[in-house]
Amino acid sequence: MNRLTLFIPFALCLALGAFLFFSLGKDPLDLPSALVGEPFPEFALEELHEPERQVSTDDFDGQVLLVNVWATWCFACRIEHPWLNSLAEQGVAIVGLNYKDHRKLAQDWLGERGDPYQFSIFDPRGVLGIDLGVYGAPETYLVDAEGIIRHRRVGVVDERVWNEEFRDLYQQLVDDANAKTE
């Protein structure tokens, strides 16, 4: 018998070990996103500050923008908020999705911390949340000019995350959109 075949089980064990070892480094909280590459789901909900105004994807107005899912009960949102404010100052369009919250609390919260949002979708029952596949807050979606979701971040978006995951893609999408309108 060929002596090399004796090493087959050893090689198999090695391969399995390597596979398991590298799987250890994967973040189990990192869910595959079902909606990246899909259009932002249709919705018709009240605006947070103006209850009589109904907002929908039409209000995205063909902009490249961020949709930020937040709530007053979400602690990490407080950590994230200053960076969203500074992004808004830099001219990044952000739409808020106030998720499973109370209108008054949310309004006060934004009054205290500043409001970086062009407008805020008020979703007290989490209807749009379910359509988006939201399972916690904060979450942030990057939507292109055609209304397609291009990136999703579950968890805080701070300066580091922005630079690593969003900045280049955002810039590229903005350039694409500008090239098309010209």
Partner 1 sequence: MPKQSNLLPGSAWLKQAALLLLLLSSAAMAVEDVVKFSDESLRPRYQQLLEELRCPKCQNQNLADSNSAISQDLRAEVQRLLEQKLTDAEIKEYLKNRYSEFILYRPEVNRATWFLWAAPVVLVLMGGLIVLRLSRRKKNSGSEEADLPVRSTDQQQRLDQLLNSPKQGSE
Binding residues for partner 1, rule: CB under 8 A, are 28-29, 31-35, 100, 126, 129-136
Q: Which is nearer to partner 1, 81 or 152 (CB)?
A: 152
In whole angstroms, how close is the CB of 144 to partner 1 at the nearest point?
20
In whole angstroms, how close is the CB of 74 to partner 1 at the nearest point?
11
Interatomic CA distance for residues 140 and 2, integer angstroms: 58
| DSSP code string of 127-155 | HHHHHHT--SS-EEEEE-TTSBEEEEEES
Q: Which is nearer to partner 1, 74 or 94 (CB)?
A: 74
Secondary structure (3-state) at 121: strand
Q: Which is nearer to partner 1, 23 or 90 (CB)?
A: 23
Interatomic CA distance for residues 103 and 48, integer angstroms: 6
Q: Which is nearer to partner 1, 4 or 179 (CB)?
A: 4
| Structural contact between residues 59 and 86, judged by C-beta atoms closer than 8 angstroms | no
Q: End-to-end alpha-carbon separation of the chain, Å?
A: 72
In whole angstroms, how close is the CB of 86 to partner 1 at the nearest point?
29
In whole angstroms, how close is the CB of 162 to partner 1 at the nearest point?
24
Interatomic CA distance for residues 152 and 163, integer angstroms: 14
In whole angstroms, how close is the CB of 125 to partner 1 at the nearest point?
8
| 3-state helix vs strand vs coil in the chain, percent to 5 | 45, 20, 35
Number of other residues whose CB lies within 10 A of the CB of residue 51: 10
Q: Which is nearer to partner 1, 9 or 91 (CB)?
A: 9
